[in-house]
Amino acid sequence: MPYVDSSGVSIHYHVEGDGPPLVLQHGLTNSLQNWYAYGFVEELQKEYRVIMADARGHGRSGKPHDPKGYGLKLRVNDVLAVMDDLGVSKAHYMGYSMGGRIGFGIVLHALDRFHSLIIGGMSADTPNTDVPPEDRISLLRQGMARYVADAEAKEGSMEDGRRERLLDNDPEALIAATTAPRGTDGIEDILPGIDIPCLLYCGEADGFFQGAKEASQIIPNARFASFPGLNHGQTSRAADAVLPHVTRFLKEVSQKVGAGR
């Protein structure tokens, strides 16, 4: 189980498969285990060297309780620290929700380290409209059991693995991560200048849908995939629907990267 130090925070990561490097970054309250649980790793490791990190505050990575420990540039640097630890100079990137926010942080701080960006369930610079931060914080202050009970009351019973992964969270770390500034001010002025291939995707029942679609229209030559009827959480687990778009996009980008060498 490899770890790397990133600005004093221990970042835990996994690597699976062989091929062009592809970084996967999960969303808030999740961990790298989600990529395994919903079938993303099983498929993507067939063609790619899949690099997954537990974001700071999550999984087996360090969990600061100060919102200052969750600045967007710090989160981007965590991704770069893992890549550097593996000797990877450039990779493809796929992030969902919070991982998508980190993807937009890459646009601001480290675009030259990536061949392409895949951003799911996130718009460029808007707050969470499905679960406002104040509501999330209120639930987290009551503990993870209360947080899970609320989610099940809204969505129905969870499978055991998902419930256990949520209960394993540190609520104080999640509160700190939630209250940290988004860090994407002014990014919409930068989107028209992105010069690498991008795929954005979002469920049509997701509060981020309109903003994600608009971002895809601003980024030159970006693709957008939408999923009717799926909300934010459902899309994060919908590997059967999402992966065909992802694998097709990556195959085309990898061919172009190879041709340019």
Q: pLDDT tens per residue, the chain (261 residues)? A: 799 999 999 999 999 999 999 999 999 999 999 999 999 999 999 999 999 999 999 999 999 999 999 999 999 999 999 999 999 999 999 999 999 999 999 999 999 999 999 999 999 987 766 677 888 899 999 999 999 999 999 888 998 899 999 999 999 999 999 999 999 999 999 999 999 999 999 999 999 999 999 999 999 989 999 999 999 999 999 999 999 999 999 999 988 776 554
- What's the pLDDT score for residue 146? 95
Check residue 125 and give its pLDDT.
87
Note the pTM of the prediction, 2 decimals: 0.96
Cα gap 85→94, rounded to integer Å: 19
Number of domains in the chain: 1
The pLDDT, as a whole number, for residue 254 is 87
Domain limits at 174? 3-259
Asked if 26 and 55 count as a contact pair (C-beta separation under 8 A), the reply is yes
**What's the rounded Cα separation, in Å, for the pair 242 and 13?**
23
Q: Which two tokens stand for residue 108?
A: 């601001």
Sign of the CA dihedral running 111, 113, 118, 120: negative
Write down the pLDDT at residue 237. 96
What pLDDT does 261 receive? 47
Model pLDDT, residue 159: 87
CATH code (residue 141): 3.40.50.1820
Name the token pair of 61: 């990575």
Other CB atoms within 10 Å distance of the CB of residue 142: 12
Q: State whether the Cα torsion 169-170-174-175 is positive or negative.
A: positive
State residue 145's pLDDT score. 96
**Which structure tokens are listed for 216?**
């895809």
Q: Look at residue 152 in the predicted model and tell me its pLDDT.
A: 93
Residue 99 parent element (H or E) = helix 98-109
The answer to whether the CB of 3 falls within 8 A of the CB of 12 is yes
